[in-house]
């Protein structure tokens, strides 16, 4: 997500992109809390002018401690901002194709995307093994690899994430299913966690069946259990939707799991307590 606080180019941001990232938001909240504490200590000093010298010294020390924590936090935020700007050099190297040494082909015969072997190997053990295998080294096209699971736009989003560690919300929303599978297949846990968080936060009756399939494919038990419970609670609406018939043909085993859980849940709720 573009952040109007820690981005290196805040002046180019325009609504509705004038947002802040999670780190900056937490930093602002911490500063506000510290300011409230300072105001509270000042108010106590004003309303209790006859406090003992010891009490006043304690109050003064509390204000100094809060101010010190405030400045320490500001320094930490500035340091993190500088580190983030430094790391964004990798993103610039990718976007500007600086000294790239490999072409990554999408699976739909789209144009290849220049990248850096070192970045791919550092971010994914699977990519590292692919680049180091004897067959790849012996191939006349050893400076090219193909990711058959992704089209060009999906592959570009994946590579941008490998370089930056973040992804624009609109790209994550558009490609979350493909990226979840790619993150699982190529062992990129950070991306897999990002996709899981998004899928859980956006779970609805319109996408729950697709989310269940992705959770099962990626062996994500937390996502699968949460989605199954959600579907069971909304089973009447789900089975009457147009998507359910296609889901039954695509995933008969998941259909059995869903229907069985819904049946057991209905049976339990129908049993009245014995007096």
- Under the banding of pLDDT at 50, 70 and 90, the label for residue 11 is very low
| H helix intervals, 142-201 | 152-164, 169-185, 189-201
Q: Identify the DSSP state of 133.
A: S
User: What is the C-alpha to C-alpha distance for residues 99 and 89, in angstroms, rounded to an integer?
Assistant: 13
Name the residue ranges covered by the structural domains of the chain.
1-9+22-30+66-94
The stretch 9-15 carries a mean pLDDT of 48
Convert the pLDDT of each residue in 190-211 to its tens digit: 999 999 999 999 999 999 999 9
Question: At residue 180, does pLDDT exceed 80?
Answer: yes
Who contacts 234 (Cβ-Cβ below 8 Å, separation ≥6)? 205, 208
Question: At residue 66, does pLDDT exceed 80?
Answer: no
Question: At residue 136, does pLDDT exceed 60?
Answer: no
User: What is the C-alpha to C-alpha distance for residues 21 and 216, in angstroms, rounded to an integer?
Assistant: 31
Cα–Cα separations (whole angstroms), residue 242 to 140, 212, 251: 49, 16, 15
Average pLDDT for the chain: 80
CB contact at 8 A, 109 and 141: no
More confident residue, 76 or 98: 98
More confident residue, 163 or 84: 163
pLDDT at 178: 96
For the ranges 24-28, 49-53, 220-224, the one whose mean pLDDT is highest:
220-224
Strand order in the sheet with 102-106: 113-115, 102-106, 144-147
- pTM listed for this prediction: 0.65
User: What is the C-alpha to C-alpha distance for residues 88 and 73, in angstroms, rounded to an integer?
Assistant: 22
């Amino acid at each position: 997500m573009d952040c109007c606080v820690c981005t290196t180019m805040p002046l180019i941001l325009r609504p509705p992109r004038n947002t802040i990232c999670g780190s900056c938001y937490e930093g602002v909240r911490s500063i506000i809390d510290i300011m409230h504490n300072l105001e509270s200590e000042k108010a106590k000093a004003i309303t209790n002018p006859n406090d003992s010298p010891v009490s006043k010294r304690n109050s003064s020390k509390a204000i100094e401690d809060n101010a010190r924590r405030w400045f320490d936090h500001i320094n930490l935020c500035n340091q993190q901002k500088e580190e983030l700007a430094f790391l964004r050099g990798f993103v610039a190297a990718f976007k500007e194709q600086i000294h790239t040494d490999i072409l990554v082909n999408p699976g739909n015969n789209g144009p290849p995307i220049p990248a850096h072997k070192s970045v791919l190997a550092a971010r994914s053990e699977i990519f590292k093994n692919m680049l180091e295998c004897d067959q790849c080294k012996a191939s006349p096209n050893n400076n090219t690899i193909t990711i058959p699971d992704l089209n060009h736009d999906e592959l570009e989003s994946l590579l941008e994430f490998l370089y930056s560690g973040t992804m624009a919300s609109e790209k994550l929303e558009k490609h979350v299913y493909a990226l979840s599978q790619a993150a699982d297949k190529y062992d990129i846990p950070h991306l897999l966690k990002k996709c899981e968080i998004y899928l859980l936060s956006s779970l609805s009756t319109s996408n729950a069946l697709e989310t269940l399939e992705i959770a099962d494919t990626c062996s994500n038990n937390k996502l699968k259990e949460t989605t199954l419970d959600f579907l069971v609670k909304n089973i009447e609406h789900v089975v009457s939707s147009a998507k359910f018939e296609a889901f039954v043909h695509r995933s008969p085993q998941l259909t059995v799991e869903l229907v069985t859980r819904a049946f057991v849940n209905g049976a339990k709720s129908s049993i009245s307590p014995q007096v």
